[in-house]
Chain A
Amino acid sequence: GQQVMQIPQYQHVQEGEDFTTYCNSSTTLSNIQWYKQRPGGHPVFLIQLVKSGEVKKQKRLTFQFGEAKKNSSLHITATQTTDVGTYFCAGNSGAGSYQLTFGKGTKLSVIP
C-alpha cells in the first residue's frame, strides 16, 4: 500500500532559525496536503499542492511539490514560538481513492 515517509521526526530550533520538513511517497501522488497539529489539538489544514513542481507561499511558510509528484517539503523562515507543533504531510494517490495517508509528522520545538 501507499507509504508516506517524513523526516525529521523531531526538530529543535532557536527562535528565528529556519525549519524544513521533508515528505516522500512510495507512489506518485494526485495531491499532497500539509497539516499542523498543536499539542493537544487536532490537525488543521495548511495547504494543498496539486501540480508537479508547484510552489506555494503563506507568509513565512513555503511549500513545494516535486516534479515527479512523489515528494514535498515545508520550509518555515525565521521560526516563532507560535510555530510549535507537529507538521504532517498527507498524500492522496487519486484513482478513486478517498484515503489520505499521513506521514509520521515532524514535531517542531522552538526555543525562545
Chain B
Amino acid sequence: AAGVIQSPRHLIKEKRETATLKCYPIPRHDTVYWYQQGPGQDPQFLISFYEKMQSDKGSIPDRFSAQQFSDYHSELNMSSLELGDSALYFCASSQLNTGELFFGEGSRLTVL
C-alpha cells in the first residue's frame, strides 16, 4: 500500500540558509499535518491543511511557512535557519473522518 512520502530524507544546512521539505500524502487523504520532533522529544504540531486550505496552526515559527498544492502534496519552507531548527520533520496524512494519522519516515534537518 502507498505510504506518505517525504523528501529529502536528510538535509544539512548552514545557519541563516533556507530549506524546503516536501510531502506526498497517501492518495485520497484529505488532510496533511506537519510535526517537528527534536531528539528525545515528542512530536510538536506545526500546521495542518484540509483540502488544500490551512486548517490549524500550532507552534510554527514565523520563519516557516507551508502550503498544499493542487495535487495535494505539501511543502514546508523554512528560512533564516537556526541551530535549534535541527530536528526530524514528519509529515502525516489522514482522512479527516477516520482520525488515524499515517506518518512519513521523516526528513532529518541538521543546521550547522
A and B physically associate: yes
Q: Which residue from B33, B41, B44, B106 sits with its C-beta under 8 Å from A98?
A: B33
Known: A43-B90, A88-B42, A88-B43. A98 touches B103 (CB 8 A): no
Q: Which residue from A44, A99, A101 sits with its C-beta under 8 Å from B103?
A: A44
Flag if B55 contacts A98 (CB, 8 Å).
yes
Flag if A48 contacts B100 (CB, 8 Å).
yes
B-chain residues with CB within 8 Å of residue A85 when the two chains form the complex: none
Flag if A99 contacts B58 (CB, 8 Å).
yes
B99's nearest neighbour on chain A, judged by CB, is A48
Answer whether residue B64 sits at the interface, using C-beta atoms and an 8 A cutoff: no
The CA of A52 and the CA of B96, in the complex, are separated in Å by 21
Flag if A33 contacts B42 (CB, 8 Å).
no
- What total of chain B residues lie within 8 Å of the partner, measured CB to CB? 24
The CA of A45 and the CA of B105, in the complex, are separated in Å by 13
Flag if A99 contacts B48 (CB, 8 Å).
yes
A-chain residues with CB within 8 Å of residue B90 when the two chains form the complex: 42-43
Flag if A33 contacts B99 (CB, 8 Å).
yes
Answer whether residue A13 sits at the interface, using C-beta atoms and an 8 A cutoff: no
Flag if B101 contacts A98 (CB, 8 Å).
no
Q: Say which one of A57-65, A69-77, A102-110 lies at the interface with B.
A: A102-110
Flag if A42 contacts B99 (CB, 8 Å).
no
State how many angstroms separate the Cβ of A25 from the closest Cβ of chain B. Answer: 14
